[in-house]
Structure 1
Amino acid sequence: MQELIQQLQEKAGLTAEQAAQSIDVIKEYVKGKLPPFIAGTVDNWFAGVAGKTEAKGEGFMDKAGDFLDDVKDTAEDWADAAKNKVTDFFNKEKDHQ
């Protein structure tokens, strides 16, 4: 997380406090855009990113991209499963008529 704070300070001219507040705003924004069952993991993810990025040498944006790709894949899987269930339901209804 410190890496992101530092980048916000350098690239956007923010103070450390402003950068930290910006991250909190981004975190809350992301949580608001996700379904409740996924939004709860955002705090944990943001908290865990700092240690993981430093240990692996990966940047925050790389980890953020990976996280969002995982969320997108999961959402697509759920949407496909829901579509299949609805289709099966209506096909069974037609068969009973």
Structure 2
Amino acid sequence: MQELINELVEKANLSPEAAAKAVETTINFVKSKLPPFLSDKVEDLIAGKFDLGSMFGGFGGGSAAGDSPLDKLNDMFGDKK
């Protein structure tokens, strides 16, 4: 989270205190919009400690063609080469 705070200090010219409060407010807002099984992962995701793709089986990029949920959806509804 400190990385995000540092970005806000540098790029938005916020004080460290204001940046920390902005990050806290944003995290709480995002958590309130997610189901419980995801809301407790928000801080880990921001800190780079949690791989959201692994939770969804590599969503958006499986190890081989046809592995990911997006590939499966494409097979069902998408391009029928």
User: Over aligned residue pairs, what C-alpha RMSD do you find?
Assistant: 3.2
Q: TM-score, normalised by structure 2?
A: 0.52
1:37 is matched with: 37
Instruction: For structure 1, list consecutive stretches of 5 or more residues without a partner in the other structure.
Output: 53-62, 78-97
**CA distance 1:36–1:4, shift in 2 (3 Å):** same
**CA distance 1:40–1:2, shift in 2 (3 Å):** closer
Q: Deviations over 1:52-71 (max 9, x none)?
A: 5xxxxxxxxxx7xx54x566
Which residue of 32, 47, 55 corresponds with 1:49?
47
Highest Rg: 1 or 2?
A: 1
Q: Calculate percent identity across the aligned residue pairs.
A: 39
CA distance in 1, matches of 2:25, 2:41: 16
Q: TM-score, normalised by structure 1?
A: 0.45
**How much does 1:42 deviate?**
2.5
**CA distance 1:29–1:70, shift in 2 (3 Å):** farther
Q: How many residues align?
A: 59
**CA distance 1:70–1:27, shift in 2 (3 Å):** farther
Higher helix share: 1
Q: Secondary structure at the match of 2:14?
A: coil
Structure 1 residue ranges (4+ consecutive) displaced by more than 6 angstroms after TM superposition: none
CA distance in 2, matches of 1:11, 1:3: 12
